[in-house]
Structure 1
């Protein structure tokens, strides 16, 4: 397996380009995987010796890459931030590393869907310009400002794959990490992602080092065996636990069964929560996401920009999931349309988390 890394500052288009590259490779029949490395560092408060969580994310990526290789992936596409002052990190696999560039005007336009405050955008642009001026020369740079995504994808794919394999100093633990895992799932559009994120945020605000992962973002693969999402989450959990995280909050597709989760986390205290919402509530959530009201979409989001017919198909899928019986260990919690906070409070209480301010 070889790795293709696309890095850069916010707004250069690295995630959009990387996802399009992965889809192009997959359509050409290449066994392909995709990971956004930013999804591998959601553990706060950050360790004092790794305040930007560079080492945390790189360690998680190196361990997770092995899962993709074992699934038969031949090319792993990785997008996300990287330390600009350092050469491209070693993952243990042959790697091509590209640093995407774009001017401030282009980056401002591309950041617009995130619905950030003007001050936040200005700060991100200034920081990005400073970082881009000091990128380590070992990165190959590619300007995206005057190219369409399709043109940039073609430029990326045209470059030679891989490179010399570089040994990684990542240590693979022999034992599974312990700790508490709060596993949140439910039928499509019942609000699992929102509840899980808000629960993690309140832990962070309280200073409780806690990890957060979205299982769907850890297991994208094409033309290869499916990457086991529960096992991928467990890989990330071991990294977070090594820096002192006592809890991991997970949001996951309904299809991942509690049985598979228990097998992946044999030594952890796993609490399963299954959210529930009627068709009207779920449809409201779906429409908001389709319209972009919840900000920029994540990779593989089939709701962002979805048509009315596509929304109805997704709601129908959720209805079938909702009609299935509770699985062993699941705690059912209703999610009202009006507010997420009562659900967050209920999950925190039942999960045995401290009563934290919000």
Structure 2
């Protein structure tokens, strides 16, 4: 397996380009995987010796890459930020490391859909210009400002990977296991992602070192065996536990069963929460998501920009999921349309998060 690494400052198009590259490789029949490294570092408060969590994310990526290799992936596409002052990190696999560039005007235009405040955009642009000007010369540079995504994709795929694969395997040290795993799922559009994120933020504000992962973002693969999402989450959990995380909050697709989760997390105390919402509430969530008004767009998001017909198909899928029986260990919690906070508080109470040591 080789790794295609795309980095750069906000607004250069790294996520859009990386996803398009993965889709192109997949359509060509290449066994392909995709991961956004930013999804591997959501553990706060950050370690004092790794305040930007560079080492945390790189460690998680190196371990997770083994899972993709074992699934038969031949090319793993990785997008996300990287430390600009350092040479491209080694992942243990032959790697093509590209730093994408774009001028400030282009980046401002590309950042517009994120609906940031003007001050936030200006700050990101200024910081990005500084980072790009000092990026380590070992990165291969690729300007995206005057190219279509299709042209950029072609240029990226043409870059050869360098280096050799280093024999490695995922290690699960017995002494490293978070005290608790809070697994949140539910039918489509019931609000699991929103509740999980707000629960994680609650812990971070309280100063409790806690990890957060979205299972769907850890297991994209095409033309290869499926990457086990629960096992991928367990890989990231060991990394977070090694820096002192006391809990891991996981949001996951309904299809991942508690049985698979228990197999992946044999040691931690796992609490399963299944959210529930009626069709009207879930449709409201779906419409807001389609309009881009309900959180950031993530890789593989089939709701972002979805048509009315597509939304109805997704709601129908959720209705079938909702009608299924509770699985062993699941705690059912209703999610009203009006407010997420009562649900967050209820999950926190039932998960016993307040009892975790400081």
Give the conservation status (yes or no) of the 8 Å contact 1:176–1:267: no
Alpha-carbon distance in structure 2 between the residues aligned to 1:150 and 1:133: 26
Measured after TM superposition, the shift of residue 327 of structure 1 is 0.2
Give the conservation status (yes or no) of the 8 Å contact 2:66–2:168: no
Alpha-carbon distance in structure 1 between the residues aligned to 2:23 and 2:175: 35
Give the conservation status (yes or no) of the 8 Å contact 1:14–1:79: yes
Give the conservation status (yes or no) of the 8 Å contact 1:287–1:311: yes
Alpha-carbon distance in structure 1 between the residues aligned to 2:148 and 2:53: 31
1:327-354 CA distance string (max 9 Å, x none): 0000000000000000001000000011
Give the conservation status (yes or no) of the 8 Å contact 1:176–1:265: no
* TM-score, with length taken from structure 1: 0.97
SS at match of 1:133: helix
CA 140–166 in structure 1, closer or farther in 2 if over 3 Å, else same:
farther
Measured after TM superposition, the shift of residue 113 of structure 1 is 1.2
CA 270–172 in structure 1, closer or farther in 2 if over 3 Å, else same:
closer
Give the conservation status (yes or no) of the 8 Å contact 2:246–2:356: no
Alpha-carbon distance in structure 2 between the residues aligned to 1:115 and 1:66: 36
SS at match of 1:354: helix
SS at match of 2:4: strand
CA 177–320 in structure 1, closer or farther in 2 if over 3 Å, else same:
same
CA 164–173 in structure 1, closer or farther in 2 if over 3 Å, else same:
same
Give the conservation status (yes or no) of the 8 Å contact 1:2–1:95: yes
Give the conservation status (yes or no) of the 8 Å contact 1:8–1:99: yes
Measured after TM superposition, the shift of residue 172 of structure 1 is 6.1
Measured after TM superposition, the shift of residue 174 of structure 1 is 6.0
CA 170–122 in structure 1, closer or farther in 2 if over 3 Å, else same:
farther
* TM-score, with length taken from structure 2: 0.97
Within the alignment, does 1:320 sit opposite 2:315 as a pair? no
CA 169–29 in structure 1, closer or farther in 2 if over 3 Å, else same:
closer
SS at match of 2:354: coil
1:46-105 CA distance string (max 9 Å, x none): 000000000000000000000000000000000000000000001110000000001111
Measured after TM superposition, the shift of residue 121 of structure 1 is 1.0
1:185-238 CA distance string (max 9 Å, x none): 000000000000000001101111000000000000000000000000000000
Alpha-carbon distance in structure 1 between the residues aligned to 2:224 and 2:109: 36
CA 184–131 in structure 1, closer or farther in 2 if over 3 Å, else same:
same
CA 190–59 in structure 1, closer or farther in 2 if over 3 Å, else same:
same
Alpha-carbon distance in structure 1 between the residues aligned to 2:47 and 2:228: 28
1:131-165 CA distance string (max 9 Å, x none): 00111010000000111111100111122244444
CA 132–350 in structure 1, closer or farther in 2 if over 3 Å, else same:
same
Alpha-carbon distance in structure 2 between the residues aligned to 1:169 and 1:228: 16
Alpha-carbon distance in structure 2 between the residues aligned to 1:295 and 1:172: 33
CA 109–256 in structure 1, closer or farther in 2 if over 3 Å, else same:
same
CA 355–286 in structure 1, closer or farther in 2 if over 3 Å, else same:
farther
Give the conservation status (yes or no) of the 8 Å contact 1:3–1:162: no
User: Structure 1: which 5+ residue stretches go unaligned?
Assistant: none
* Superposed CA RMSD: 2.1
SS at match of 2:155: helix
Residues 43-192 of structure 1 mapped to structure 2, 5 A cutoff:
43-165=43-165, 173=173, 177-192=177-192
Q: How many residues align?
A: 358
SS at match of 1:89: coil
